[in-house]
């Protein structure tokens, strides 16, 4: 793998050896890949004798993916424990940022990370990494997930991938590829194969990831597909998950995961957007088929980015649109102009 050059491996190894207090950080609203990669990184550092290690995230993850975290790893969520997460970050002499391409993707943690004198390492698979801010960068979009990239880095370092760390990595890769449906490379199957051969129970993992939801999620998915789906000429689909709908279905963080992919199962649909209303903005998820760039749409109209066919961003109420009711018109105009 091109990103894993030997000199970077030596540099990363040296930074870890010198570090006394390591903060392992992932992106805002962490998904399975951010949790899996960060947990595996922290577990590996602990098993290599580092005493002061913690994961820090800006927000508490959804219940359905919290199982990826390990009881062995200290974890601070800034939305719950701002003081503790800030104090840990201030004292860290090494920061390892995973599954995001820049500090702004950590939102509330951004000012602390930018001001931190710690040495910094980036391990990521998104487009446009902010390489100038890091001492060592492992970044390539030619890999399924940050979890997979970390697996190959650990292998290149010749550090043991313990069963708990491997389980976290397999979880992260599985969620990011939507169980081998997207962004899969030959190396992804090799990683999965090696981890299964090492004894990781993939069936148990799949049960936890895909068959542990609450009933309300299935009902919401049905409602949104029946009542909420709008399909525009040109093959663009979008859904608005308003606050009112979220309250009606008692929706919690992470429970709309996967909904944005559903419209792409329609032959004529090449672009799918899900807008989830939050405080002062909509969180926007975008998925596309090959040949249409979700990333370009996210960047041009939603202050975001991500991967070519899976991106995200935001639509701000008060600046981009006057009120939440204007979201549909904004999306329809954006799509018209994007497809011109
Ligand atoms: P999701 O739709 O699952 O939230 O995100 C899909 C992809 O888009 C992920 O790779 C994620 O990192 C990226 N993404 C989501 N939200 C944002 C955002 O606000 N800004 C940027 N730059 N990327 C985002
Ligand atoms: Mn990822």
pLDDT tens-digit readout, 68-120: 999 999 999 999 999 999 999 999 999 999 999 999 999 999 999 999 999 99
Cβ atoms within 10 Å of 87's Cβ, excluding its own: 12
Asked if residue 87 is part of any domain, the answer here is yes
- The percent of residues above 90 in pLDDT, for the chain, comes to 98
Q: Which residues line ligand 1 (CB under 6 A)?
A: 27, 31, 105, 126, 285, 304-307, 310-314
Residue 268 and residue 170 share a domain: no
The mean pLDDT of 175-198, rounded to a whole number, is 97
Asked if residue 1 is part of any domain, the answer here is no
Report the CATH number that the domain containing residue 125 is assigned in CATH: 3.90.1640.10
Closest residue by CA, ligand 1 atom 18: 313
Residue 201 and residue 83 share a domain: yes
Question: pLDDT by residue (tens digit) across 45-70?
Answer: 999 999 999 999 999 999 999 999 99
Closest residue by CA, ligand 1 atom 19: 313
pLDDT for the residue 2: 76
Residue 315 and residue 204 share a domain: no
Residue 241 has pLDDT above 90, yes or no: yes
Residue 52 and residue 120 share a domain: yes
DSSP state at residue 60 = P
Question: pLDDT by residue (tens digit) across 275-332?
Answer: 999 999 999 999 999 999 999 999 999 999 999 999 999 999 999 999 999 999 999 9
3-state SS class at 53: strand
In the chain, the number of structural domains is 2
Tokens of 124: 């990521």
pLDDT for the residue 71: 98
pLDDT for the residue 238: 98
Residue 272 and residue 191 share a domain: no
Range of the domain at 145: 6-210
Cβ atoms within 10 Å of 2's Cβ, excluding its own: 6
- The percent of residues above 70 in pLDDT, for the chain, comes to 100
pTM for the predicted model, two decimal places: 0.96
Asked if residue 305 is part of any domain, the answer here is yes
Atom index in ligand 1 nearest the CA of residue 260 equals: 2
Asked if residue 151 is part of any domain, the answer here is yes
Residue 173 and residue 237 share a domain: no
Q: Residue 33 C-alpha to ligand 2 middle, in angstroms?
A: 5
Return phi, psi of residue 5, to 5°: -85, 150
In the structure, ligand 2 is a single-atom ion and the residues with CB under 5 Å from it are 33, 99, 145-146, 176
Closest residue by CA, ligand 1 atom 2: 285
Tell me which ligand sits closest to the C-alpha of residue 307: 1
Report the CATH number that the domain containing residue 328 is assigned in CATH: 3.10.310.30
Residue 31 and residue 148 share a domain: yes
Question: pLDDT by residue (tens digit) across 126-156?
Answer: 999 999 999 999 999 999 999 999 999 999 9
Residue 1 has pLDDT above 80, yes or no: no
Closest residue by CA, ligand 1 atom 6: 311
Return phi, psi of residue 181, to 5°: -90, -35
Q: Residue 195 C-alpha to ligand 1 middle, in angstroms?
A: 27
Asked if residue 124 is part of any domain, the answer here is yes
Tokens 């962004």 — which residue? 183
């Amino acid at each position: 793998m091109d990103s894993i050059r030997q000199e970077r491996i030596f540099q990363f190894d040296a930074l870890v050896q010198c570090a006394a207090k390591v903060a392992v950080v992932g992106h805002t609203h962490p998904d399975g890949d951010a949790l899996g990669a960060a947990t595996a990184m922290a577990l590996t550092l602990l098993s290599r004798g580092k005493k002061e290690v913690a994961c820090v995230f800006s927000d508490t993850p959804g219940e359905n993916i919290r199982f990826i975290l390990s009881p062995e790893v200290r974890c601070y969520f800034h939305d719950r424990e701002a003081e503790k997460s800030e104090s840990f970050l201030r004292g860290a002499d090494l920061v390892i940022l995973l599954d995001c391409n820049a500090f702004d993707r950590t939102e509330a943690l951004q000012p602390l990370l930018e001001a931190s004198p710690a040495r910094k390492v980036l391990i990521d698979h998104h487009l446009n990494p902010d390489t100038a801010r890091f001492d060592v960068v492992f970044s390539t979009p030619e890999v399924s997930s940050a979890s997979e990239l970390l697996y190959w880095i650990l292998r290149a370092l010749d550090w043991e991938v313990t069963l708990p760390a491997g389980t976290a990595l397999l979880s992260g890769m599985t969620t990011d590829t939507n169980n081998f449906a997207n962004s899969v490379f030959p190396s992804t199957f090799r990683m999965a194969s090696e981890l299964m051969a090492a004894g990781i129970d993939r069936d148990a993992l799949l049960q936890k990831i895909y068959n542990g939801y609450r009933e309300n999620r299935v009902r919401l998915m049905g409602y949104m597909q029946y009542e909420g789906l709008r399909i525009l000429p040109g093959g663009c689909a979008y859904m608005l998950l308003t606050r009112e709908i979220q309250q009606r279905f008692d929706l919690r963080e992470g429970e709309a995961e996967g909904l944005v992919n559903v419209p792409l199962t329609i032959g004529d649909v090449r672009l799918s957007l899900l807008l989830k209303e939050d405080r002062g903005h909509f969180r926007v998820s975008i998925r596309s088929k090959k040949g249409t760039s979700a990333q370009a749409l996210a960047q041009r109209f939603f202050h975001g980015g991500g991967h070519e066919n899976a991106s995200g961003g935001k639509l701000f109420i008060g600046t981009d649109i006057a009120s939440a009711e204007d979201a549909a018109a904004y999306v329809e105009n954006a799509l018209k102009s994007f497809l011109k």
